[in-house]
Amino acid sequence: MLIVEDDTELAALLAGLIEREGYEVDVAHDGQQGLHLGLTRGYRVMVIDRRLPGIDGLDLLSRLRRRAVTTRVLILTALGAHAERVRGLDGGADDYLAKPFDVDELLARIRALDRRFDDQADLLPLGDGFLDRDLRDVALPDGSRVPLSPREFALLHTLAAHPKSVHTRAQLRTLVFPDTEAESVVDTYVYYLRRKLGRRIVLTVHGLGYRIGLL
């Protein structure tokens, strides 16, 4: 679990409470560090403050969602007005809790979000087939299955998780291939996916980048 909270005493308190629930906890004290951790590590739940130095909590959440991070997020903030709650939920949060908060309620909400993480469907639609996030392969409409390498899967999942979005080569390189600076690696793995699944699986948006297509 990730806690993004600039109040160091509160962050330490939250981390202690949540660790006693059996979770491993990372803590970030500003939005930039939270963004880095959110993009480079896999979390079941994130607890994010609204007022953060560097990057505001809602801006942080928006950036994570744009980069295909689907981790369950609880916004924890002193901004508890109805309009602020609506902004937070519309901005991509899964839950919203105002400070001061009841500890038992906070932990119950975190457990509920964690259960929803477990309940996420393992099957991501790809036209008449689907991407299996558990087996990390593609089931074709005829019932056959196509295995993917780890990076082929990561690239296809990034595109399929946001079917209406166009990802630039730079974005895909950062998300899927952070260990290389060559954007050409994206084109190489798009070629691999098309060779396995057909040319329509990844569509080129000229001058912009790539988006998911169909089987």
Is residue 209 a contact partner of residue 215, using CB atoms and an 8 Å limit?
Answer: no
**Collapsed DSSP state (helix, strand, coil) of residue 55:** coil
Residue type for 135, please?
L
Sorting pLDDT into bands at 50, 70 and 90, what band is 164? confident
Model pLDDT for residues 182-213, shown as the tens digit of each residue: 889 999 999 999 999 999 999 999 999 999 99
Sorting pLDDT into bands at 50, 70 and 90, what band is 178? confident
Instruction: Using the predicted structure, report yes or no on whether residue 130 has a pLDDT greater than 90.
Output: no
Residue type for 172, please?
L
Instruction: Using the predicted structure, report yes or no on whether residue 8 has a pLDDT greater than 60.
Output: yes
Spell out the domain ranges in the chain: 2-119, 123-212
Predicted local distance difference test score (pLDDT) of residue 122 = 66
Alpha helices in 68-140 (DSSP H): 82-90, 103-119
Q: ω before 178 within 30° of 0 (cis)? A: no
Question: What's the average model confidence in pLDDT over 8-31?
Answer: 94
Beta pairing class for 123-126 and 129-132: antiparallel
Percent of the chain whose predicted confidence (pLDDT) is above 70: 96
What does pTM read for this prediction? 0.57
Question: What's the average model confidence in pLDDT over 133-160?
Answer: 88
Considering the domain 2-119, what is its CATH architecture?
3-Layer(aba) Sandwich (3.40)
Instruction: Estimate to the nearest angstrom the gap between the alpha carbon of 215 and the chain centroid.
Output: 24
Same fold, 2-119 and 123-212: no
Predicted local distance difference test score (pLDDT) of residue 63 = 87
Instruction: Using the predicted structure, report yes or no on whether residue 121 has a pLDDT greater than 70.
Output: no
What distance, in Å, lies between the first and last C-alpha atoms of the chain?
A: 35
Is the CATH number of domain 123-212 1.10.10.10?
A: yes
Model pLDDT for residues 34-93, shown as the tens digit of each residue: 999 998 887 889 999 988 998 999 999 988 877 767 788 999 888 777 787 787 787 788
Relative orientation angle of helices 31-40 and 57-66, to the nearest 10 degrees:
20
Residue type for 138, please?
V
CA 48/CA 56 separation, integer angstroms: 10
Model pLDDT for residues 33-42, shown as the tens digit of each residue: 999 999 888 7
> How high is the mean pLDDT of the chain?
88
